[in-house]
């Protein structure tokens, strides 16, 4: 079956620091890959996605590339802001999603 | 437009009682999903609907859990004889069809079983 292993954190950074959250997966076939974000007090929102190998998803300065050879989909942002403080979930699937455990990120001013 | 809505937002119940959780998907979305978010288990798939049919119920934890969908729209998740381990946030999501990539999530119902 499908599964996702995600760096659990918590991660604490200063503003303008570089952020990377590791995500690796095992999957049957080649499902789509996603990063979802949950801001404090809010619901899950799609941050970015990639639907096939070598695709790069990007949004709000975040990027992740679907790497088939390393079965990874690491999330990166070059310069984080306080407003990026949230819980980030890596997920994969086509008709149903399998999620990682979530990574709590806190950005300090 | 309106997103996925869920009610109630919070539910506190006593062990052994039955509860019903409601999900209103985005209008026109034929695929509807239920997930559970709990401290010990993370985010888990429970069941999904395509129209009114549920082709995959594999994530339902026990026969105390059931769900239905009527009119290809509203869905209800029912938990009978609730237990303390059922305490979690229950999330609903929808998408336009099975071939669509992105699921849109509701705000969730926080269930607390005393």
Cα distances (Å, whole numbers) of residue A75 to A61, A91, A98, A104:
10, 12, 17, 13
Q: Are B56 and A42 an interchain contact pair (Cβ–Cβ within 8 Å)?
A: no
Q: Which residues of chain A does B108 touch, with a Cβ-Cβ cutoff of 8 Å?
A: 43
**What residues of chain B lie within 8 A of the CB of A44, using their CB?**
91, 93, 105
pLDDT of amino acid A9: 84
Cβ pair A45:B102 closer than 8 A: no
Residue-level pLDDT at B54 = 95
pLDDT at B1: 56
B101/A49 Cβ within 8 A: yes
Contact B70, B3 (CB under 8 A): no
pLDDT averaged over every residue in chain A: 94
Low-confidence ranges of chain B (pLDDT < 50): none
Closest CB from B43, B102, B103 relative to A89: B43
Residues of chain A in contact with residue B101, where contact means CB-CB under 8 angstroms, are 32, 49, 51
pLDDT number for residue A28: 85
Which residues from B are below 8 Å from A45, CB to CB?
105
Structure confidence at residue B99 (pLDDT)? 78
A29 burial (CB, 10 Å; 0-12 / 13-18 / 19+) is: exposed
Determine if the peptide bond prior to B16 is cis (ω within 30°).
Answer: no
pLDDT confidence of residue B27 = 93
Average pLDDT on A9-32 reads 94
Contact at CB, A42 and B101, closer than 8 angstroms = no
Distance from C-alpha of B81 to C-alpha of B23, rounded to nearest angstrom: 21
Q: How many CB atoms lie within 10 A of CB B17?
A: 12
Residue of chain B whose alpha carbon sits nearest to that of A93: B101
Cβ–Cβ under 8 Å, residues A60 and A67: no
pLDDT of A97 reads: 92
Mutate to test the interface with A, among B103, B106, B108 (most CBs of A within 10 A): B103
First to last CA, chain B: 37
Residue B32: what are its φ and ψ, rounded to 5°? Answer: -135, 140
Per-residue pLDDT, B59: 95
Specify the pLDDT at position A25: 96
Nearest CA in chain A to B59: A96
């Amino acid at each position: 079956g499908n599964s996702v292993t995600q760096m659990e954190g918590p991660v604490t950074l200063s503003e303008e620091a570089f952020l990377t959250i590791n995500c690796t997966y095992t999957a049957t076939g080649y499902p789509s890959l996603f990063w979802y974000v949950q801001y404090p007090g809010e619901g899950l929102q799609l941050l970015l996605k990639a639907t096939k190998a070598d695709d790069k998803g990007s949004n709000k300065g975040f990027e992740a590339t679907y790497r088939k050879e390393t079965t990874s989909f690491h999330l990166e942002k070059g310069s984080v802001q306080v407003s990026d403080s949230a819980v980030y979930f890596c997920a994969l699937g086509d008709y149903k999603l399998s999620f990682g455990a979530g990574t709590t990120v806190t950005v300090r001013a | 437009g309106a997103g996925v809505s869920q009610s109630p937002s919070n539910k506190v119940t006593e062990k052994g009682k039955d509860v019903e959780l409601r999900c209103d998907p985005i209008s026109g979305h034929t695929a509807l999903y239920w997930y559970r978010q709990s401290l010990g288990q993370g985010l888990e798939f429970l069941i999904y609907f395509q129209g009114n049919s549920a082709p995959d119920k594999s994530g339902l934890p026990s026969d105390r859990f059931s769900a239905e969908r009527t009119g290809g729209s509203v869905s209800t998740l029912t938990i009978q004889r609730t237990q303390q381990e059922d305490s979690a946030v229950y999330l609903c999501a929808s998408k336009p069809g099975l071939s669509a990539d992105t699921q849109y999530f509701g705000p969730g119902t926080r269930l607390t079983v005393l």
